[in-house]
Copies of this chain bind each other. A is one copy, B any other.
Amino acid sequence: MTPIKINHVAVVVEDVQAAIGFWRDALGLPLQHTERNEAEAVEIAFLPVGEGEIELIQPITEESGVARYLAKKGAGLHHLCIEVEDIAAALERIAASGAELINDTPRSRPDGTLYAFVHPKSTGGVLLELYQLPAK
C-alpha cells in the first residue's frame, strides 16, 4: 500500500514563541494551537499547511530526548512523519527489508493515532515517523 501523505515536519527550536514569530507572522501560516506536553517535556506549536503541518517543538527541561538533541545538533529539522493506511503492514514490510525500527510495534497516542519510528541509519539519515490515524 502506498503511503498517504506527509502528515507533519517537526522542527526543534530553542524558543517556540520566537519561531512562531517567523512561521506565523512572517511566513503567514495559521497557528492552530500550542500544547504543553509534560510527559515528553516539550511545548509544541501546530501550524497547518495544505494537507500537512509544521510542528515547532521546544524542550521545557534539559533532560528530555529532544533537549539532548537540541544541545547536540542545534535547532532545525528533527523528523518527518508520513501517514500510512496500515501501520502494522508498513512496519512488517520495512522490517522484512532489513531496515531498523525504533518501535517494532505501533504505539498509541491518547487520540488513538498509532505511531512508530524508523531509525535514521536505515533511511539515509532521516528520523522517520509513521502515523496511522484512528478510523473515523
- A interface with B by C-beta (< 8 Å): 1-6, 9, 11-15, 18-19, 21-23, 25-30, 49-52, 54, 56, 74-80, 82-83, 90, 93-94, 96-97, 99, 120, 122-126, 128
What chain B residues lie within 8 Å of A76 (beta carbons)?
A: 77, 120, 124-126
Closest Cβ–Cβ distance, residue A75 to chain B (whole Å)? 3
Question: Which of chain B's residues have a CB closer than 8 A to the CB of A50?
Answer: 3-6, 51-52, 83
Copy number in the complex reads: 2
Q: Which residues of B contact A128 (CB under 8 A)?
A: 27
Give the interface SS of chain A, mostly helix, strand, loop or mixed: mixed
Would A123 and B23 count as touching, CB distance under 8 A?
yes
With beta carbons under 8 angstroms apart, the residue of B51, B97, B124 that contacts A5 is B51
With known contacts A9-B6, A28-B3, A49-B3, A22–B82 Cβ distance under 8 A? no
Q: How far is the CB of A15 from chain B (nearest CB, A)?
A: 8
**Which residues of B sit under 8 angstroms from A125, Cβ to Cβ?**
11-13, 74-77
A6 B6 Cβ-Cβ under 8 A: yes
